[in-house]
Copies of this chain bind each other. A is one copy, B any other.
Amino acid sequence: MGRWEPDAVGRLRAAALELFAEHGYEQTTVADIAERAGLTARTFFRHFPDKKEVLFQGSDGLQQAMVDALLAAPAGAGAMQAMAEALRAAAAYFGDIREFARRRRDVIAANAVLRERELSKLAALARALEQGLRERGIDPTDALLVAEAGTMVFRVAFEQWVARRERRGFDAIAQDLLWRLGGLSRER
């Protein structure tokens, strides 16, 4: 990451998404990506362990940011309130990557292996949130339920956020969904 490669990660990511969209994920090689970015394959491997990680790097950081926020929620906060904080942290983590997230979504939707990888990342997120809720002293079954509900809200909010005509930010969408879920559950 020396000065002779300004924003190598950003350039490699942009090049990869262009090529995946143009030729498909399977047909694109690391050499193609590096060439399009004006860099070498060696530079690619300094930043990513393999081609797939261009799409998935960052998901560990996202999970950690969500769990940290969940654990940092006020002591008196209930499980759903702590989950709201985790979703807020996801919004802050995403920042301004909506256009990247849209292109990434299209690439993943077109490839079964990537879809499975995405789902397994979501399952890992649910387990990490469940563990965080248990550390907050939440009953195990409640922790499981709230972690699954929160992960579902995260997934649905993400899908809405990357929809072509959506203008609201991730946080506004996620908090609206969580609020609606509360209202719907109250009806019973």
A141 with B180: in contact, given A116-B112, A148-B156, A152-B148 (CB under 8 Å)? yes
Contact of A188 among B116, B145, B153, B182 (CB under 8 A): B182
Q: How large is the interface on A (under 10, 10 to 19, 20 to 34, 35 or more residues)?
A: 20 to 34
Nearest CB in chain B: distance from A150 CB, A = 10
Interface residues of A (CB under 8 A from B): 78-81, 84, 112, 115-116, 119, 141-142, 144-146, 148-149, 152-153, 155-156, 177-182, 184-188
Q: Can you spell out 21 A-B residue pairs with CB atoms less than 8 angstroms apart? A: A78-B184, A78-B187, A79-B187, A80-B185, A80-B187, A81-B188, A84-B188, A142-B180, A142-B184, A145-B180, A145-B181, A145-B184, A146-B184, A148-B152, A148-B156, A149-B149, A149-B185, A178-B188, A179-B188, A182-B185, A185-B185
